[in-house]
Chains A and B, each alone.
Chain A
């Protein structure tokens, strides 16, 4: 979706503000939200792309005003409500009021912590061959789905060069909506800063995105 999360190339957000000696968490609740999201991701049957889409779907004004872990909290709540694992009445009451279905993988307990401490693999073996090869010119398609996609707006319609093939990976556009893994070849595609931002742009800049095959066409 063409949401406010797709921020590449937007102006007006100001300087990067670096906090010296920044703590891992600024408030205890941030750490609990992070842990609950990780636990729900591990045992709740929601993959990373569903989690991302839950945050991208936060209304734009709220998204921009919310802190990072507030967004995670809002996304988690919406996933729990959508799946009827938690009711709005329970959120209001602050306690469980009725029976709910168990999580697909059961209670997230200590035995599960080790499993999530290393990222899983997103690469899948497939019989197909990649359509593009390194060095080839490709155009990022002008797609504008209302659903989840990982092709940022700022490269759509632009021509880049395939730099590397990263294997065949789970396709976020399908996985985010429960339509299966639908693995697709994944390429690092490099664009020149001037192609993206015009003749006034810094000629020394190159930008790459990792793009799935359905995002690309031969140029």
Chain B
């Protein structure tokens, strides 16, 4: 097969690469897109927007009670006051994990995700196993991630079916009482802000 032969030659382009290049050529020739602008979009998501944005918000909420309260009341508004952290669109809702309740976010219908806080979603978030099972067997999903919670803890799954977006505010690990905001931000993982993980024990 031609495709197999392609794999034998690392420099050759895959079928998808060729098809996508052809489409970009057509859109460019028609004046629909400037490839330089496409480069800029890609660069933004490869270098500027990622889970660090969300981690800084979580760390701030852990050390600043007034900010945490504002975040839980209106996350878009609260984060907008931290101009240096990240730009954020409307309808962001922060949901707080407590000993009584653990929150988990999914989009069963497509792949809605708080891009501005966490960057582009990982493959597993957009794939069938997670989308199908998160609303029916969230503890099974947590087990896939190596997370076990007490049976009495309520598991609350937020299905992102509209333009609202959800950011989980994980619990601050014990033993971090004297840590700086910067140090705390380093233990806030992407998965802990989706609700499929917990903050790392140490940075």
Contact = CB atoms under 8 A, between A and B. Distances in A.
B116 A118 contact: yes
Interface in B160-195: 160-165
Interface string B19-39: 111111111011111101111
B131 interface: yes
B181 to A, nearest CB: 24
Interface in A80-132: 85-86, 90-91, 94-96, 100, 102-103, 107-110, 112-113, 116-123
A118 B87 contact: yes
Interface string B41-63: 11011100110000000000000
Given A7-B128, A8-B136, A212-B162, A29 B16 contact: yes
B154 to A, nearest CB: 5
A61 interface: no
B89 A119 contact: yes
B133 interface: yes
Given A38-B41, A40-B32, A86 B26 contact: yes
A206 B155 contact: yes
Contacts of B31: 102, 107
Contacts of B46: 24-25, 31
Given A8-B159, A27-B17, A108 B32 contact: yes
A205 interface: yes
Contacts of A145: none
Interface residues of A, number: 92
B178 to A, nearest CB: 30
Given A202-B155, A205-B138, A8 B37 contact: no
Of the candidates A11, A109, A197, A201, the one having the most CB atoms from chain B within 10 angstroms of its own CB is A109
A104 B122 CA distance: 32
Interface majority SS on B: helix, strand, loop or mixed? mixed
B45 A119 contact: no
B141 interface: yes
Nearest to A39: B33
B153 interface: yes
Contact of B20 (A9, A19, A73): A73
B88 interface: yes
A207 B157 contact: yes
B53 to A, nearest CB: 12
Given A19-B123, A24-B50, A24-B120, 19 more contacts: A8-B109, A11-B132, A16-B145, A27-B17, A32-B38, A34-B42, A38-B41, A108-B32, A108-B37, A109-B37, A113-B44, A123-B90, A150-B109, A154-B135, A166-B91, A205-B154, A205-B156, A208-B159, A210-B159
